[in-house]
Amino acid sequence: MNTSNHDASPLTSAATNSKGRRLCPIALLDYCDGQIDREALQTLAGQSILHPRQFNRRTVVAIAQLAALLESRNVEMDKPLDGKIAITAFFEASTRTRLSFESAVLRLDGKVLSVPDGQVTGIAKGESLADIGEMFNTYGDVVIMRHPDTNCLDEIGKNLQRPLINAGNGSGHHPTQALIDWYALLKWRPELCRADCPPEKRVHLGIIGTPGSMRAVKSFVRLALMFSGAVKKITLISELADPVGLDLTEPIEESPIEIEIINDVQEVLPELDVVYVNSIAFLGDSYRKLDARYKLDASSDLKSGAVILHPLARNDEVSENLDETEHNLYFAQAAGAVFVRQSLLTSVLDRLDRISGLGGS
């Protein structure tokens, strides 16, 4: 095997998040005895990743395990994506998602065709997404797309025959963000991997936002419902009486996890182990920001040891004066994105055999 060891990478351990908690991937690997669930990863080969319902607890943990192996840099790889081209087609603004996907591809020795702004495509001349999908079939091997229209996946899917990864579709879903969120939580507390997490390690999740119209929040909740042995309670905190939305109604009703909806964050903040915050709700082609009363800062009544997750970008709902505190998990969360996306792309493009130390066949 021609090897490329990650020790040669400029992404040293010091180059993860600069502030807040730093998460050690080794803790997650050790917890799983270094055994990565290759069989679960293989189920993703050739698949489009459109919706978090495609995952289950086992696949989420397996993606996190491989991400941890890659982040640990204690791995030998034989140019996993050599010969593969990823198209990143972004019809809506992004800092993290596009660039971390592109970084992931390049670090795996693949190549990238990047559309950072959909307006430079034929869309500006009235071309349909369906026709663009037809073109992509010959240009690349996987398409990673963000679009403000919730129906965009069906539209491009009319002709696209390559795996499509949903990088955010309007108010729909952001499944790979949810994988990143759970990667951070599993590194923070590896016991959450278990179907029968010890009671004292189970977490009370507080979610500030509106899952019905916030795609990252919705996808995070969808995955949280898969961890019923690790999540003891979910509190949705919103100014709306019903922030859940259609897509989550049934999974919430069927979940054994206790779920409550409240509108006063102060009422529950001191009880929460994890506070997930997002700021932007998508309303068709416009946005609505989180209500001002839900802002967090260093004086907020957070429980000792509680952590804050935020998919970012933030506005003023999480004050910068939290950045240097133990509550800041959001920078470590963002820092995990490249590894999660490396893990996912290697699985989807069926190149697991090019990473040593995975076990199985």
> Which spans of this chain sit near ligand CP (rule: CB under 6 A)?
94-97, 168, 177, 311-313
Which residue, 132 or 312, has its beta carbon nearer to ligand CP? 312
Cβ–Cβ under 8 Å, residues 41 and 62: yes
Give the nearest distance from C-beta 69 to ligand CP in angstroms: 23
Q: Which two tokens stand for residue 244?
A: 């859940």
Give the nearest distance from C-beta 89 to ligand CP in angstroms: 13
Cβ–Cβ under 8 Å, residues 28 and 58: no
Q: Strands (DSSP E) along 38-181, which ranges?
A: 76-77, 85-90, 111-115, 142-147, 164-169
Q: Nearest-CA neighbor of 295 among 323, 264, 318, 320?
A: 318
Which residue, 295 or 314, has its beta carbon nearer to ligand CP? 314
Cβ–Cβ under 8 Å, residues 237 and 207: yes
Which residue, 193 or 221, has its beta carbon nearer to ligand CP? 221
Which residue, 9 or 95, has its beta carbon nearer to ligand CP? 95
Q: Which two tokens stand for residue 270?
A: 């001191």
Cβ–Cβ under 8 Å, residues 336 and 22: no
C-alpha 73/C-alpha 9 separation (Å) is 9
Q: Nearest-CA neighbor of 65 among 94, 41, 100?
A: 41
Which residue, 4 or 177, has its beta carbon nearer to ligand CP? 177
Which residue, 65 or 176, has its beta carbon nearer to ligand CP? 176
Q: Quick count: other Cβ atoms within 10 Å of Cβ 44?
A: 24
Give the nearest distance from C-beta 94 to ligand CP in angstroms: 3
Which residue, 215 or 354, has its beta carbon nearer to ligand CP? 215
Give the nearest distance from C-beta 129 to ligand CP in angstroms: 19
- Cβ neighbourhood burial of 113 (10 Å; 0-12, 13-18, 19+): middle
C-alpha 225/C-alpha 336 separation (Å) is 22
Give the nearest distance from C-beta 145 to ligand CP in angstroms: 12
Question: What are the helix and strand counts (H, E) for the chain?
Answer: 12, 13
Which residue, 129 or 337, has its beta carbon nearer to ligand CP? 337
Q: Which two tokens stand for residue 134?
A: 């037809």
Q: How far is CA 17 from CA 22, 108, 281, in A?
A: 7, 21, 26
Q: CA triplet 219, 351, 8: central angle to 5 degrees?
A: 95
Give the nearest distance from C-beta 95 to ligand CP in angstroms: 4
Give the nearest distance from C-beta 181 to ligand CP in angstroms: 9
